[in-house]
Amino acid sequence: HGLETIAAGEPAMARALERAGVPPPRIRDPGYPTLLRTIVGQQVSVAAAASVWARMEALLGPGAPPAPLLAADFDSLRACGLSRQKQGYARSLAELVVSGALDLSALPADDEAAIAELTKIKGIGRWSAEIYLLFAEGRPDVWPAGDLGIQGGLRKILDLPERPDEKAARALGDAWRPHRSAAAIFSWHCINNPAL
């Protein structure tokens, strides 16, 4: 297990693991719905994202399929909580899937190459690509160092005086290759954990 391997070489991680316990699995199915859900979740709380997604599924059907999404009008999607910008991103993704231009089952095995492929999609930045590879594909060495939750979790785990910025978080993560996904999931698990 990646987390135990990291903890064996990182006393602060071992202490936090002892107190907070192992995080529950957070794997999603690979494919269009998960990538769309990642777009929906950008820059909003987990609860807000879940609420928007539930309204989208109620309107469009399970997984918010591409065809109904493309057929839905602006006001209907706005009522679900999708901003104009996110609607543009969602439609762009749906069009790529419908046209066959995007095959999410054929992403490159190399993480950086897969991130480069995903970030060609309108509305998918590095963070969204990393989140997708981590949760939908379960890749073992993804490290979204720009994520505020990871940075906050690292501050608690490592007892740092302040939240590390992206550059510092990236450098901290280097020591945990090739198990950085486990460290990322554990960082999120620790951020609001009362045991720490």
pLDDT tens-place string over residues 86-139: 999 999 999 999 999 999 999 999 999 999 999 999 999 999 999 999 999 999
Cα(79)–Cα(147) distance, integer angstroms = 28
Looking at domain 2-26+142-191, its CATH class is mainly alpha
For domain 32-118, is the CATH number 2.60.40.10? no
Q: Check: CB of residue 149 under 8 Å from CB of residue 187.
A: yes
Closest CA to 179 of 18, 13, 24: 13
51-72 mean pLDDT: 98
Q: Could you give the percent of the chain with pLDDT greater than 70?
A: 100
- The residues assigned a catalytic role are 147
pTM of the model: 0.88
The amino acid at 173: G
The ranges assigned to domains in the chain are 2-26+142-191, 32-118
- What is the rounded average pLDDT for all residues in the chain? 95
Residue 1 has pLDDT above 80, yes or no: no
Given this model, what pLDDT does residue 16 score? 97
Closest CA to 2 of 169, 143, 180, 171: 180
pLDDT tens-place string over residues 10-52: 999 999 999 999 998 888 889 999 999 999 998 888 899 999 9
